[in-house]
């Protein structure tokens, strides 16, 4: 016997099932599980903007120095900024400078087809490198200088005093507009299409991401345009923004442009097919994050054959992400999402759910209550409010068994789940340890009070299998056919305590408890000892854990 597929009752639009897009403008993330968002307002809508890359790839005329707040600027001459005074002062005269680079106490300036390299922060000229068409330079470890020529993607290598060391083939497409050396011998390139490339030590160049670039310490440059640039630095009172023109003259601080996103974008789907002729579409639910200053607007239209006019569209109320479809019956639905913002943030739409056909608790009412079409429409819409709440409660009930799965619940739920099972956690136990204890709880309870349960619980917490010694088992009890004469005692007082007239001085301890006559039977009864490597775990915590698993009448020690 086989069962046919159940009829569909909803349709999802997301990165997994597809957005069925027919028109997209200013929106990216169609295949990103994180969701749809506004595109970047740069040359690469799906990638970083030039403004976002400024802290790592400054304007070629700027380079951060080695001292806090220190910067180099090339105008007609080489200027250096004193981090304390906050002003740019003349460092050296130049002819027609193009770019500047700095690393440690070395400075390099590309000037009229040559690269000038200084040591001691511009005080000592180390070399002059003749490179026709030179545009960019970078100083790397090993007293080496890398030079980029105009319109080229390869790197020419020189020593600081001008000796050539060959050409480093990058294999990147397009012109290199940014070059910097990172920690660990890494090299970073930025091409004209704002693609980031990275090369590890002696490896090939590979396309990188903004997330990987963020691991490199950024500079304090936050803005640069035709009028000048701004630095954002920290002091005792917080962040301070200092702005300058391209001659190094201070300028009034201005708002730092922080609009990396376009301000509006739309996505229009094709005809979403319900598979039901004259289907009454029921409900639309949009799962989205809408930060302050952004908005998501939803419009839809239902049609039987894909033909509709501009006045047929239904617009959801502003700020609404869950609403009923108020359209005539039709097999197809077309959805339009409009994302908007102020340029500094973007809404994110993760998923859209379309429910069909219409099904409400009004269907359970007698026909007499649904004779008036206008009243029937109101009844459906009114009862759908309660249906939505009840549906959410039903989903919680359906998901409730998942809360009893130690491997799937959030970390904050673990103490609550342990309370249901009568377990208690120490404050120093991490989430994996707590999950392991919860998973083993049925077997631990089943064998509670046994050496296995004590050892297993301690092993889960410490990660080391302990040695558990039951002290009564260490006594040499006499056994018929198994003991030799003189090796065991059948009766008599214990020699493990001091007795007047029977013990030598210093040969036995003096005890103020127990009965010497009962020592052979009671001295080690109901006692155990746990042995763990030194420094494995907190002895007090292990002792409390073992006491909860051991029988109540026993006493144990941890060593």
Query: What Cα–Cα distance (Å) separates residue 154 from each residue in 168, 196, 249, 371, 508?
Result: 6, 15, 35, 79, 86
Shortest CA distance to 299 belongs to which of 23, 489, 17, 15? 23
User: Does any domain span residue 45?
Assistant: no
pLDDT score, position 2:
45
**pLDDT band at residue 485, thresholds of 50, 70 and 90?**
low
> Do 242 and 279 belong together in one domain?
no
- Please check whether residues 176 and 121 belong to one and the same domain: yes
The overall pTM is greater than 0.75:
no
Contact 222, 55 (CB under 8 A): yes
Q: Has residue 349 been placed in a domain? A: yes
In a domain, 502, yes or no: yes
Where does the pLDDT of residue 272 fall: very low under 50, low under 70, confident under 90, or very high at 90 and above? very high
- Are 247 and 287 contained in the same domain? no
Question: Are residue 210 and residue 311 in the same domain, yes or no?
Answer: no
User: Is the model more confident about 353 or about 192?
Assistant: 353
Of residues 554 and 518, the one with the higher pLDDT is: 554
Query: Which has the higher per-residue pLDDT, 385 or 83?
Result: 385
**pLDDT for 368 beyond 60:** yes
Judge whether 421 lies within some domain.
no
- Asked if 73 and 138 sit in the same domain, the reply is yes
Return the pLDDT at 480: 62
Lowest mean pLDDT across 194-198, 241-245, 503-507, 546-550:
503-507
The domain that holds 315 is classified in CATH as 2.60.120
Residue 129's CATH number: 2.120.10.30
Confidence band (pLDDT; 50, 70, 90) for 475? low
Domain boundary among 294, 328, 359: 359
Kindly state whether residues 95 and 227 are assigned to the same domain: yes
Are 205 and 337 part of one and the same domain? no
Q: What is the mean pLDDT of the chain?
A: 82
Identify whether 86 is part of a domain. yes
Model pLDDT for residues 276-321, shown as the tens digit of each residue: 999 989 889 999 999 888 999 999 999 999 899 989 999 998 888 8
**pLDDT range class, residue 202, cuts 50, 70, 90:** confident
Query: Which domain-ending residue is among 307, 342, 359?
Result: 359
108 shares its domain with 221? yes
Verify that 347 and 490 share a domain, yes or no.
Answer: no
Which of the listed residues 341, 359, 377 is the one where a domain comes to its end? 359
pLDDT score of 112: 80
Kindly give the pairing relationship between strand 196-199 and strand 221-225: unpaired
Q: Which residue from 195, 202, 159 is spatially nearest to 177, judged by alpha carbons?
A: 195
Residue 387 lies in a domain: no
* Boundaries of domain holding 462: 443-558
Question: What ranges in 153-275 are assigned the alpha helix state H?
Answer: 210-213
CB atoms within 10 A of CB 186: 18
- Same domain as 315, residue 228: no
Mean pLDDT of 341-366: 85
Q: What is the spatial distance between Cα 20 and Cα 24, in angstroms, rounded to a whole number?
A: 11
Residue 330 burial (CB count, 10 A): 23
Average pLDDT of span 131-152: 87
The predicted model gives 396-408 an average pLDDT of 83
Cα separation, 169 vs 264, whole angstroms: 41
Angstrom distance (rounded) from CA 195 to CA 193: 6
Residues 32 and 68 occupy one common structural domain? no
3-state helix, strand, coil in the chain (%, to 5): 20, 35, 45
Considering its fold, how many domains does the chain have in total? Answer: 3
The Cβ of residue 391 has, within 10 Å, a number of other Cβ atoms equal to 13
Query: If you write DSSP's letter for every residue of 507-540 in order, what string do you get?
Result: SS---SSS-TTTHHHHSSTTEEEEE--TTSS-HH
* 412 assigned to some structural domain: no
Phi, psi of 459, deg, nearest 5: -65, -40
List pLDDT tens digits, range 327-341.
999 999 999 999 998
Which residues, in sequence order, are bridge partners of residue 258? none
Task: Give yes or no for a contact between 295 and 347, defined as CB atoms under 8 angstroms apart.
Answer: yes
**Residue 140, pLDDT above cutoff 90:** no
For residues 454 and 336, membership in a common domain is answered with no
Query: Residue 339: its pLDDT value, please?
Result: 95
Judge whether residue 410 has pLDDT over 50. Answer: yes
Q: Is residue 342 part of a domain?
A: yes
């Amino acid at each position: 016997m086989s069962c046919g597929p159940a009829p569909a009752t909803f349709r999802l639009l997301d990165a997994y099932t597809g957005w069925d897009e027919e028109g997209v403008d200013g929106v990216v993330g169609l295949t990103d599980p994180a969701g749809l968002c506004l595109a970047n307002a740069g040359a690469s809508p799906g990638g970083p903007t030039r403004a976002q890359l400024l802290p790592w790839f400054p304007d070629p005329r700027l380079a951060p120095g080695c001292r806090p707040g220190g910067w180099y600027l090339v105008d007609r001459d080489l200027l250096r900024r004193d981090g304390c005074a906050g002003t740019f002062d003349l460092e050296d005269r130049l002819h027609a400078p193009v770019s500047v680079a700095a690393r440690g106490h070395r400075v390099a300036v590309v000037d009229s087809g040559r690269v000038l390299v200084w040591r001691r922060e511009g005080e000592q000229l180390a070399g002059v490198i003749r490179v026709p068409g030179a545009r960019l330079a970078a100083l790397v470890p090993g007293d080496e200088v890398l030079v980029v020529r105009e319109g080229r993607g390869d790197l020419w290598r020189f020593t600081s005093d001008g000796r050539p060391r060959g050409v480093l083939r990058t294999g990147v497409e397009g012109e290199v507009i940014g070059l910097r050396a990172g920690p660990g011998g890494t090299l970073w390139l930025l091409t004209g299409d704002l693609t980031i490339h990275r090369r590890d030590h002696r490896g090939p160049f590979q396309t990188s991401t903004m997330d990987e670039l963020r691991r490199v310490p950024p500079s304090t440059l936050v803005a640069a345009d035709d009028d000048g640039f701004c630095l954002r630095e920290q002091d005792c009172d917080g962040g301070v923004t200092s702005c300058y023109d391209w001659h190094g003259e201070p300028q009034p601080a201005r708002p730092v442009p922080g609009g990396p996103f376009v301000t509006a974008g739309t996505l229009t789907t094709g005809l979403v097919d319900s598979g039901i002729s004259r289907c009454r579409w029921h409900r639309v639910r949009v799962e989205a994050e809408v930060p302050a200053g952004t908005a998501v607007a939803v419009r839809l239209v239902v049609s039987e054959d894909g033909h509709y006019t501009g006045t047929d569209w239904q617009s959801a109320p502003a700020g609404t992400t869950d609403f009923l479809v108020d359209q005539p019956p039709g097999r197809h639905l077309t959805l339009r999402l409009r994302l908007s913002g102020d340029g500094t943030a973007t809404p994110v739409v993760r998923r859209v759910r379309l429910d069909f056909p219409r099904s409400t608790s009004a269907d359970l009412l007698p026909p007499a209550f649904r004779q008036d079409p206008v009243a029937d429409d109101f009844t459906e819409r009114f009862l759908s409010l309660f249906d939505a709440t009840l549906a959410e409660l039903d989903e919680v009930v359906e998901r409730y068994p998942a809360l009893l799965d130690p491997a799937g619940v959030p970390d904050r739920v673990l103490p609550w789940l342990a309370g249901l099972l009568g377990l208690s956690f120490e404050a120093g136990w991490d989430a994996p340890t707590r999950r392991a204890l919860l998973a083993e709880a049925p077997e631990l309870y089943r064998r509670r009070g046994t050496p296995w349960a004590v050892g297993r619980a301690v092993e889960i917490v410490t990660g080391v299998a302990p040695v558990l010694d039951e002290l009564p088992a260490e006594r040499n009890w006499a056994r018929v056919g198994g003991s030799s004469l003189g090796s065991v005692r059948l009766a008599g007082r214990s020699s493990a305590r001091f007795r007047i007239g029977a013990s030598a001085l210093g040969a036995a301890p003096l005890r103020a408890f127990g009965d010497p006559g009962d020592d052979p039977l009671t001295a080690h009864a109901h006692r155990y000892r746990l042995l763990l490597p030194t420094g494995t775990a907190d002895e007090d915590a292990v002792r409390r854990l073992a006491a909860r698993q051991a029988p109540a009448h026993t006493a144990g020690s941890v060593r």
